[in-house]
Amino acid sequence: MSTSAISSVSINRKLDVYFGVRHHELRKLEKALESGDLSTAQLDLADIQNLGQRGPFASGNAFWNSDRQQDFEAVGSALQSGDLVAAQQVFQQLTNTFKHIDPAAPQPTDVGSGKDPAVPRRPDL
């Protein structure tokens, strides 16, 4: 196996881990918003911001897609001002940008290749 193939696998693995952790953190934020827990939502948002700063994007953003990053930042602004309703609305707007799949539908096995409808191709993330 060539060095470029090894580094490619390593990069893809790191991205998969990053997206998995970010997804988990977004679910935590969603639960805090749904329960109306402003302080936990603020902490969860900070965790995602910190993850982005250590993440794969040179910008240090949590999202590569600028529209998603703007929505995420709007959630943060709403939480900072204490407007839980606005934060919930913008978070819903953010989550609507991800493709939702019927869990009962059969899923292909090509995860991360762009062939799996449950996993967007990398440039869309």
What is the distance between the alpha carbons of residues 85 and 93, in angstroms, rounded to a whole number? 13
Query: Whole-number mean pLDDT of the chain?
Result: 82
Q: Is residue 107 part of a domain?
A: no
Q: Which of 3-7, 8-12, 59-63, 89-93 has the lowest mean pLDDT?
A: 3-7
Q: What is the mean pLDDT of residues 94-120?
A: 59
What is the distance between the alpha carbons of residues 48 and 21, in angstroms, rounded to a whole number? 9
Does 105 score more than 80 pLDDT?
no
Does 119 score more than 50 pLDDT?
no
Q: What is the mean pLDDT of residues 62-70?
A: 96
Does 37 score more than 60 pLDDT?
yes
Residue whose entry in the numeric block shows the structure tokens 């700063």: 53
Q: What is the mean pLDDT of residues 89-118?
A: 66
Q: What is the mean pLDDT of residues 11-30?
A: 93
Q: For 112, left (φ over 0), alpha (ψ -120 to 50), or beta?
A: left
What is the distance between the alpha carbons of residues 41 and 30, in angstroms, rounded to a whole number? 8
Confidence of residue 13 (pLDDT cuts 50, 70, 90): confident
The helix or strand, by DSSP H or E, that contains position 62, with its residue range, turns out to be: none
- Which domain CATH number covers 16? 1.20.120.10
Domain carrying residue 83: 3-99+112-124
Which one, of 34, 23, 31, 45, lies nearest residue 99 by Cα? 23
Instruction: Look at the chain and report how many structural domains it folds into.
Output: 1
Does 125 score more than 80 pLDDT?
no
Q: Is residue 104 part of a domain?
A: no
Q: Is residue 105 part of a domain?
A: no
Does 124 score more than 70 pLDDT?
no
